[in-house]
Each structure stands twice: as C-alpha cells, then as structure tokens.
Structure 1
Amino acid sequence: MIPRRLVVLVLGAAVIAAGLASSASAALFFLFKPTTADAGELVTVRLGGTPVNFTLEQREKPFRNGIRLYLVPSGAAEEVSSRFDPRLHFIGRIVPDRNSRGIVTFRVPPLGSGAYALASWCPACAKNSFGRTFFVQTVPKVSRYRRWMGLRVQMPSARETCPVSETGTYSNGLLSTTVPPGGVLSTRKEADGLSQKLGWLPHRRFPDSLAVRGERLDAPSPPMKVLGVNWGYASSGPGAKGSWASAVKFPSEGCWRISGRVQDISLSYVVKVVADS
C-alpha cells in the first residue's frame, strides 16, 4: 500500500507540473508583417494565435489589459532587462481581446539599419510568470514562426536625400509631435546657431520630465543643444491638455533626427533643418 504522504507529494508535483505547462502554453509571442521595412513604412504586429487577416473590428469584448511593445537592436537583446533601457524604442500598445487575439500597426521609427527584436511590458503577465512583467522575445532555432519573429529596419542614406518623416501629426499612441510641411524645419539664425522651439504632446500625464536630443545624419556635427524643456497649457479649464515645449539650437543646417523620451516612451522623427532667409 502506498503511504498517504507519498500520494500527496505525487499529486502536488503533478499540479505544479500542470501549472507550469499551462504558463508555458500561454507564453506571449509576437509576429511581424512585413519582416523588412524602411523607416517610415507601416508594419503590423500580431499576437501569436491571431489570424493573419485579423482586424481590430473582429475583437471580442471584454478587452484585456494593454501590452506595450518596443524595438531593441538584436545585438543588445540579451543585455536588456528593463523597459527603461535607452536602447528600447517604443512602437505602440497592443490590446488583446477575450480570446487573446490582438494586433497593432505602427510606423517604423527612423532607427539605424539592422535587425531588431521585440520587447514587451505586460503587467497582467506577472501572475503567470513568477512576477515578471518585462520580456524580450527570443527567436527559437526551430519554430514554424521563426521567420516572422524579428524585424529588419532599413534606414535610407541621408547624404543624398534627407529621409524626412511624414508631415503633420506624428505619433506612437502615447506621445506625439508635429512634423512641418515637407519635413522642412525653419529656424531663426543667430550668432551661435539656429534656434527653434519643438512641441511634444503626451496622451497621458507623466510624472517625469521629457528628455530631448538631436543628431545630424548627413554629416559629422556636434549634437543639437537643448536650452530648456518646459511644461505648460495652451488653455485653462478641466479639459485643458498640457504639453512640453523644448527650446533647441542646431549648430548647422542639414538632416537631423530628433528624439524625445519620457520614462519608457520614446518618439523620434527626421527633419531637414534650414535657416530662415
């Protein structure tokens, strides 16, 4: 006769094993379409298990908590352990439906050419992942989904033509700015550089301040100088929306990539900087 204590231990082990198997089967993974794109082109990310032709209109309520998505250079993927790592670039938020199906379409940010992995922040995943909420997707050596699990970004050369970002409101869903017509940013010429103010509109209030930087893409140059970043309101009242205004100074005309970051949210765009005549 098997001792009762041994039966309990065996049953307990079986329950734990079943729980681990359940967690593994519910593990998140994401697929890109297409898997190669130029900066500025549209790419769709879908949760594993979501049909290829699935649309937002096909989602079934209730919706689950949103998952933030980021691109990270593949060469740094194993080193990144936090959503606040500056090597991450936020691309959007995916909201699964009741059946864990979800998609999001984003515009590829103007990142350096190369291979990128996908990272995610999923607060609701903590209960099934021993408290973990941040994940970097690894590409298995053998998987039928392998070819869709990474993204290769192509950044056009800025030496011949400046690859300016799309004109108008430029947004990643949580932070937005305005790209001037034709991607041409007019500046005021001063003795020590070219000055301008850049606006940034958050889609929710952040307790931290915004960090802004700029780098020239078409020629060697000192970085853009940030003179100050101020928070303010364009109107008063309970519905008033606040925004940041960053006073900057460029050392020269040319093709510039400008980036703003607050907490884990980053937004980058490219403009051609010219001096007012």
Structure 2
Amino acid sequence: MTPDILCIGSVLWDIIGRSNAHMQKGSDVPGRITRIPGGVALNIAMAAKAYGMTPALLSVVGRDAEGDELVAALDRLGLVTDTLYRSEDLPTDVYMAIEGGNGLIAAIADAHSLEAAGDKVLRPLHGLGFTGPIVVDGNLTQDLLAGIAVDPRFTGTDLRIAPASPGKAERLLPFLVHDSATLYVNLEEANLLLHAPQPDTMTAAEALRAHGLYRALVTDGPNPAACAHPGGTVKIQPRNVMVTRVTGAGDTFMAAHIAAEASGADPDAALKRALEAAATYVSGDTY
C-alpha cells in the first residue's frame, strides 16, 4: 500500500477503565475495562483510515508478545506497519486511563520506549519522497521535536502537530515559528504555549499564528472552536452532546480535519466536519 498520510509518534496499547459514575480520589466503582490499540499517532491513523485515507506509522513497537499482537491488530485494520521500528530490547508502550461520568479522572502514559528510540523512528523517511500530510505527536522527546522543527526534510511539508497532553504541550514551542505547520491544541494547551491566559479560542488561535506559525486550531470542549489561517479566522460552535468518553476525542477531531481538507473542504467546512466527528465520538454514537 502507498500511504497518503504519515503518523509519527506513540503507538501502544490503551487500557481504559470507564464508569458512568461521577468519581473522585479514592472512588471504587463498577464499570468496564478495555484494552485497545492506541497512542496519539495511532489514534489519528485509525481515524484517518476510517475516513478513507491510507496511513503509515512511524513509531517503535517492541518485539515482545504485546508488540506482535499489536502489529497484527494494526495489519488487520489496514494500516501500513512496515515503517515501524521493531525493537529487540524495548518493551511495547502502554497508556492507562480512568474515565468517569465527570470526565477523565487520571491517566498514566508509559511512552518510555518511544522516548528511548529517539530518531530511529524517522529512518523510513530516507528516500521516501513523501508529499502528503505528516502528523507529529508530542510524545516524542523534546530534543527530537526540536530537531524536526528545523530538519530540512520537513521544510515546506504539510506538518500537522498534536500535543500528547497539556503536560507535554511546551515541547511544541519550536513549531510556533514553523511556516508550514498546523498546530492542533485545546485552550489550556494554547495558554501554556503562549505563557499567558487567553479569553477564548479565537484570541488564542490568532496569538499562536502571530508567532510565525502557518495555522492554529484551538478547541475548548463545548465552547466555540477556532481556526486561524492565512486567509483569516473561523470560529464555530460545536454540537451539544452527552459526553460518554473523552480519551481520543482530540485525535478524532484532528484526523477528521485532515481528511476533510484532503477531500477539498475549505477552512470553514473542514472545521465543521472535525467538530461533528468529535461530537459523534464523545457521545459514543460510533466506536
């Protein structure tokens, strides 16, 4: 298969515990526990595949039983996996989260193998001659992200940047002056990058772009989302839905936006499609 989108970053197992009960520290409630393929780069790739694209994964997966099982699952999903770095001595990464009726309670991301692999995950880029969108997620090390921001292989490419979490948002600072990068963040992450609180997503998106960034998309849960791009700024109110899950919602938003643009959608239509996809996802209408 010939890929039309590259996804660089975390590819791992997600272990998610969900309950409809509102939870707090020390809560012990009934619910469901699932293990599914996950990670920011992989979540975006799986969603992009559902929208008709052909994603290739650039990441590290161990040559352990968990890694073999994960790669087999990804092959069945129709993703390009021969671009993965399969490590003999690094275990397959894992993410664990607890979600209640009041949202995400706690999460731990064990992406130590991705960090240890470093630029080995970029080896497939040599001679690839790829010209489509390239997704980069914030689970990569700060040094590797800074390197990608100035790497001539990425100059002028359609870079799409996703933070792994608010705690890793500041790793993306080198991309704020990248003239071909699109940054996808929520308002909290935007505030961390700007080192100043912004009143709304439109103000935050325009402030991010003012640094020299090509384009910025900023979301804020049920509040209006904004996209600041070379032609101006678009702001759209998302559909109101009952939230049943949150892990992976931002990745779904990003993949839907990329796929919409690949099909020729303008900035307004692409943002609308992305918000609708995220609303459908968090409501649990589709899996």
- For the criterion TM > 0.5, the same-fold answer is no
Larger Rg: 1
Instruction: Give the TM-score taking structure 2 as reference length.
Output: 0.22
Structure with the largest fraction of strand: 1
Instruction: Give the TM-score taking structure 1 as reference length.
Output: 0.23
Structure with the largest fraction of helix: 2
